[in-house]
C-alpha cells in the first residue's frame, strides 16, 4: 500500500492506515473460516460480541432506552425503513430538505404517507431555510432532516424543538465525527462506508418506543422491532463489513474516541476553509458560512463561479501528486474534498500546500 496516495473521495472512503486489510483478510478468511470449519456459528457469536463492543463504545452517549441495530440497504434503505416504521403514527411526516440526500429521502417517504416540506426548497445553492421559517406540524409522525449533506457540503447543527414529534436524522456522512446528544433523537441512521469501515452495514440507533408499530406492508427485514428482537441477525449479516467495522471502532477508541474525532474534524476543516478564505477569492466556498460542513467541503477554483479550465488543471496537478477524488459532484461542480476520520491532518496540509502553490502559479 502506497502511503502517499491521498483519497479525498466522498465514499466509500479510505480506512485508517493502521487498519491493515491484508492482515484482516488473512485472519478472517484463512484462520477463522477455513482452518476451523465450524466457525460460522462462532462468527455469529462474534458479531453479537461486536454489537456489545459498539454499545460499550457509545456507552456515554446511548441512553438505556435506545437500541443499536446493524442493518443492510445503506442510507437509501433507511429512507424507506424510517417511513415504513414510523409513518403509521399519523400517516404524515415533516421533512426539511436541504440538499440532494434529504430530497431523495422525502421522495421515498412519499410512497408511504403524506410528506410535508417544512420550508420551500431553497433555490439558492449553498443556503438552507432558517429554522424560524420552518412550518412544523405537531401531528407529524416524525420530523426528518439530514445532519450533513454530503453532496452540497451543508451541515445542519441546530434544529428546533419539535415537542412530541420524534426527530429522525440521517448521519450517513457524519456519524462518529462529532459528539451527539442521542436523547434528542427518535432515530439516527447512517451507513458505515464513510467513517466506520467498508460499505455494507447500516447503523440505526432507535428509541425503543418507536419500534413495534410498522406499516402492515413493511418487509420483515426492515422492521426495527423485529431486527432488534433478532439481535440484528434476521438473515445472513454482512459479516466481513461488521468485522472491519469493529477494527475501525477499536482504532477510534485508541485514538481518543469521538471527542478526538470531533477535534480533528474541526482542525482539518478549519485549515481548508482558512486557505479558501485567505486566497483573495482565487478559491471560494459555495456554501453560507454558518452552515458549512466540516466533512465534505466543496470549493471552486478561479473565482466564485469557478473557471473550468483552471479546475481541470487543478485536478490534473493534484493527481500528479497522488491526490485523488477531488472532483466535485456533477450537480454542484468544482471541487470537493471529503475529510472523513481516516483522512489525517497531515494529508489536509499536503492538499492546502498544493492549493497555495497552484494559486501562486496561476494568478
**Residues engaged in binding ligand PMP (CB under 6 A):** 11, 74-76, 101, 146, 150, 170, 172-173, 191
Report CA dihedral (336, 340, 345, 346) to the nearest 10 degrees: -70
CB neighbours of residue 209 within 10 Å: 10
**CA-wise closest residue to 221 among 208, 209, 238, 242:** 238
Catalytic annotation present for 181:
no
Q: For ligand PMP, give the closer residue by CB, 275 or 292.
A: 292
Residues contacting 340, CB < 8 A, separation 6+: 11, 13, 14, 173, 177, 194, 195, 295
Which position's Cβ is nearest ligand PMP? 74
Active-site residue, selected from the candidate residues 67, 94, 101, 152: 101
Active-site residue, selected from the candidate residues 94, 152, 170, 223: 170
Q: What distance in Å separates the CA atoms of residue 208 and residue 66, rounded to the nearest whole number?
A: 5
Q: What distance in Å separates the CA atoms of residue 240 and residue 161, rounded to the nearest whole number?
A: 39
Q: For ligand PMP, give the closer residue by CB, 244 or 301.
A: 244
Where do runs of H (alpha helix) occur along 124-206?
Answer: none
Least Å distance, CB 339 to ligand PMP, is 14
Q: For ligand PMP, give the closer residue by CB, 8 or 314.
A: 8
Active-site residue, selected from the candidate residues 67, 94, 152, 194: 194
Residues contacting 157, CB < 8 A, separation 6+: 147, 291
Beta bridge partners of 323: 6
Q: For ligand PMP, give the closer residue by CB, 101 or 283.
A: 101
Least Å distance, CB 189 to ligand PMP, is 9
Radius of gyration of the chain, Cα coordinates, nearest whole angstrom: 21
Least Å distance, CB 4 to ligand PMP, is 26
Catalytic annotation present for 134:
no
Catalytic annotation present for 14:
no
Which helix (H) or strand (E) element contains residue 115? strand 114-117
Q: What distance in Å separates the CA atoms of residue 80 and residue 111, rounded to the nearest whole number?
A: 9
Q: What distance in Å separates the CA atoms of residue 294 and residue 265, rounded to the nearest whole number?
A: 6
Least Å distance, CB 138 to ligand PMP, is 27
Written as one string, the DSSP assignment of 205-220 is: EEEGGGSS---TT--G
Q: For ligand PMP, give the closer residue by CB, 85 or 279.
A: 85
Least Å distance, CB 76 to ligand PMP, is 3
Q: For ligand PMP, give the closer residue by CB, 173 or 325.
A: 173
Least Å distance, CB 151 to ligand PMP, is 7
What SS3 state is found at 283? strand
The catalytic site residues sit at 101, 170, 194
Amino acid at each position: 500500500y502506497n502511503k502517499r496516495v491521498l483519497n479525498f473521495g466522498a465514499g466509500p472512503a479510505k480506512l485508517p492506515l493502521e487498519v491493515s486489510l491484508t492482515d484482516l483478510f488473512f485472519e478472517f478468511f484463512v484462520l477463522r473460516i477455513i482452518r476451523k470449519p465450524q466457525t460460522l456459528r462462532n462468527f455469529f457469536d462474534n458479531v453479537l460480541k461486536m454489537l456489545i463492543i459498539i454499545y460499550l463504545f457509545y456507552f456515554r452517549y446511548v441512553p438505556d432506552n435506545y437500541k443499536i441495530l446493524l442493518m443492510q440497504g445503506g442510507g437509501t434503505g433507511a429512507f424507506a425503513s424510517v417511513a415504513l416504521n414510523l409513518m403509521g403514527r399519523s400517516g404524515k411526516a415533516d421533512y426539511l430538505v436541504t440538499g440532494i440526500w434529504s430530497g431523495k429521502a422525502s421522495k421515498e417517504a412519499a410512497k408511504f404517507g403524506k410528506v410535508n416540506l417544512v420550508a420551500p426548497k431553497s433555490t439558492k445553492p449553498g443556503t438552507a431555510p432558517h429554522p424560524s421559517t420552518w412550518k412544523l406540524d405537531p401531528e407529524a409522525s416524525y420530523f426528518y432532516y439530514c445532519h450533513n449533506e454530503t453532496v452540497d457540503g451543508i451541515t445542519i447543527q441546530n434544529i428546533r424543538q419539535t415537542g412530541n414529534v420524534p426527530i429522525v436524522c440521517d448521519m450517513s456522512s457524519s456519524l462518529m465525527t462529532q459528539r451527539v446528544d442521542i436523547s434528542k433523537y427518535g432515530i439516527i441512521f447512517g451507513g458505515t462506508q464513510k467513517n466506520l469501515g467498508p460499505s455494507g452495514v447500516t447503523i440505526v440507533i432507535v428509541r425503543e418506543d418507536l419500534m413495534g408499530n410498522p406499516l402492515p406492508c413493511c418487509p420483515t427485514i426492515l422492521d426495527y422491532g423485529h431486527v432488534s428482537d433478532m439481535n440484528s441477525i434476521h438473515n445472513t449479516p454482512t459479516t466481513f463489513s461488521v468485522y472491519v467495522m469493529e477494527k475501525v471502532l477499536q482504532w477510534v477508541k485508541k485514538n481518543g474516541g469521538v471527542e478526538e474525532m470531533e477535534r480533528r474534524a474541526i482542525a482539518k476543516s478549519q485549515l481548508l476553509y482558512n486557505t479558501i478564505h485567505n486566497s483573495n477569492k482565487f478559491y471560494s466556498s459555495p456554501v453560507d458560512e454558518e452552515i458549512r460542513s466540516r466533512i465534505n467541503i466543496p470549493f471552486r477554483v478561479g473565482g466564485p463561479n469557478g473557471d473550468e479550465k483552471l479546475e481541470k488543471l487543478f485536478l490534473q496537478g493534484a493527481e500528479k501528486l497522488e491526490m485523488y477524488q477531488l472532483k466535485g459532484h456533477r450537480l454542484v461542480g468544482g471541487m470537493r474534498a471529503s475529510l472523513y476520520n481516516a483522512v489525517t491532518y497531515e494529508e489536509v496540509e499536503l492538499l492546502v500546500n498544493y492549493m497555495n502553490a497552484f494559486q501562486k502559479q496561476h494568478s
